[in-house]
Structure 1
Amino acid sequence: MKAPLRASLPDSSAPNLVLERFAPEETFKTKVYAALKNAIINMDIYGSREPTWIDERQLSERLGVSRTPVREAVAMLEQEGFVKSLPRRGIVVLKKTKNEVVEMIQAWAALESMAARLVVVRASDAEIGKLRTLFKNFNEAHKPAEHVSEYSSANIVFHQTLIGLSGSQLLIDMTNNLLLHVRGIRQMTIGRDDRASRSIVDHLKIIEALERRDIELAERLSRDHTLGLAAYVDEHADIFD
């Protein structure tokens, strides 16, 4: 006679998986956080000496949510160093000191040089070709130095696209947290001392190295290009006056 079948007992050595349901308020908080962070990253906070303020009530109305998820999202952004809540005054987007910005640009240089290495390994020829199209409208008749605002936008897109082509979500996330400050400083400095003319030369050399699948050269050119910005910021404290 066969023994009766018994339900197998769970292995006591296996870790218990504890899951909690998502609360609606947490879902709103996450969405508000993502929307607000993206908006802050795209601000030009270094374009003016005046502080940049965020109004909690206006955010709630524009996003169509209660003020609770807005407060929670702001708290998360405050922990990340993007904003600061000041009693009876509001929420201000934080600017960094010169030394802090220099360190951020140096960190960006390290991350982007790794991104360049990964682009060589992972990206297709067509994807790398997209980088070159960003500068197709610039030539002797349409010089970057004479169209600084237009070139500044292409410059930022170039660096974001290069990071994206790495295929590394972690690199993308890490540079997003630096982008607010690095982007603003790039925009401020690109029109000074003919930096736009030199910048496009650097970019085209980086693209050429990527197209040739020269890992070491692409990595070095990308790193040195961004470290050049760090050195320039370090030498020109008046940017922050």
Structure 2
Amino acid sequence: MKVPRLKSPPESSAQSLVLERFAPEETFKTKVYAALKHAIINMDIYGSSEPTWIDERQLSEKLGVSRTPVREAVAMLEQEGFVKSLPRRGIMVLKKTKSEVVEMIQAWAALESMAARLVVQRATDAEIGTLRTLFKDFNDAHKPSDHLNEYSDTNVVFHQTLIGLSRSQLLVDMTDNLLLHVRGIRQMTIGRDDRASRSIVDHLKIIEALERRDMVQAEQLSRDHALGLAAYVDEHADIFD
């Protein structure tokens, strides 16, 4: 008795079956890396002339993991220039020199001005409105110069939100690597020479340009605002004393 041969399925049916690979689960290393990087970015490393140290054993205990993923995450952060491991001393969060900080702020100016351009193209009116809401509590009775800590935090959130509204993950990632230093320098300088009062004026002008969908003006104002900080840092070496 002959066994009938099974016909192969038509080629088109195989081609119509589209499958995607499962996303691999995060490893302990990547989780520790993300948590540690976030914590470092939010440190105020320029608030003191003393170096900032990280303890590997404490990290391991606080995160509830062994030291191996901590060491792997630290190695990744060291490659990115965030930290440096020193034998028999520990892990030091790296500060930058004045010239390095000026270059970083200049790079930030280029990235944020592009972000402003993309915000005009991509963000909704409501999303742009969130930028104005950040400053709603500041007025003549509640001046930025009289509430420096509060305004300094709002200042950083403004810049992070502006970058985020660009909907460019690459811009977000690139500015994250600059944020540790740019954020610290902004906090150091915001209380000097009435910079807080001028800062909020700059921010509101940027928001107005975004609301008008004036791409060229929004881009220029964002760039000039950041370059103003770079020029100030360049002129005041005592910031790093």
TM > 0.5:
yes
- 1:63 to partner: Cα distance: 0.2
Counterpart mapping for 1:102-113 below 5 A:
102-113=102-113
Paired residue for 2:35? 35
Is the partner of 1:53 in helix, strand or coil?
strand
Q: Which amino acid aligns with 2:192?
A: R
Aligned to 2:218: 218
Which AA in structure 2 matches 1:172?
Answer: V
The residue that corresponds to 1:172 in the other structure is 172
Whole-angstrom distance in 2 between the partners of 1:116 and 1:78: 31
Which one-letter code corresponds to 1:152 in the other structure?
S
Matched residues in 2 for 1:195 and 1:126: separation? 29
Matches of 1:205 and 1:7 in 2, distance apart? 64
Q: How much does 1:141 deviate? A: 0.6
Q: Distance in 2 between matches of 1:75 and 1:4?
A: 57
Q: Which ranges in structure 2 are unaligned for 5 or more consecutive residues?
A: 11-20
Give me the whole-angstrom Cα distance separating, in 1, the residues matched to 2:167 and 2:104.
22
**TM-score normalised to the size of structure 1?**
0.91
| SS at 2:71 equivalent | helix
Equivalence for 1:14:
none
Counterpart CA distance in 1 for 2:9 and 2:87 is 60
Output one character per residue of 1:59-82: Cα deviation in whole Å (capped at 9) or x when no partner: 000000000000000000000000
Look up the SS of the partner of 1:141 in the other structure.
coil
Specify the alignment match of 2:98 in structure 1. 98
Q: Which runs of 5+ in 1 are unaligned?
A: 9-18
Equivalent residue number for residue 119 of structure 1: 119
Q: CA deviation at 1:5?
A: 5.7
1:151-197 per-residue CA deviation (whole Å, 9 max, x = no partner) reads 10110000000000000000000000000000000000000000000
Count of aligned positions: 229
> Which 4+ runs in 1 deviate beyond 2 A?
3-8
* Aligned counterpart, 1:143: 143
Partner of 1:56: 56
SS state at 1:206 partner: helix
Equivalent-residue separation in structure 2 for 1:45 and 1:117 (angstroms):
31
Distance 1:6 1:212 in 2: 62
Q: What is the CA-CA distance between 1:4 and the residue it aligns to? A: 8.0
Aligned partner of 1:235 in structure 2 is: 235
TM-score by length of 2: 0.91
Q: Deviations over 1:72-129 (max 9, x none)?
A: 0000000000000000000000000000000000000000000000000000000000
Let me know the Cα RMSD of the aligned residues.
Answer: 2.0
Q: Specify the alignment match of 1:12 in structure 2.
A: none
2:106 partner amino acid = Q
Is it true that 1:79 corresponds to 2:87 in the alignment? no
Shift of 1:7: 9.6
Match for 1:60: what amino acid?
A: S
Aligned to 2:202: 202
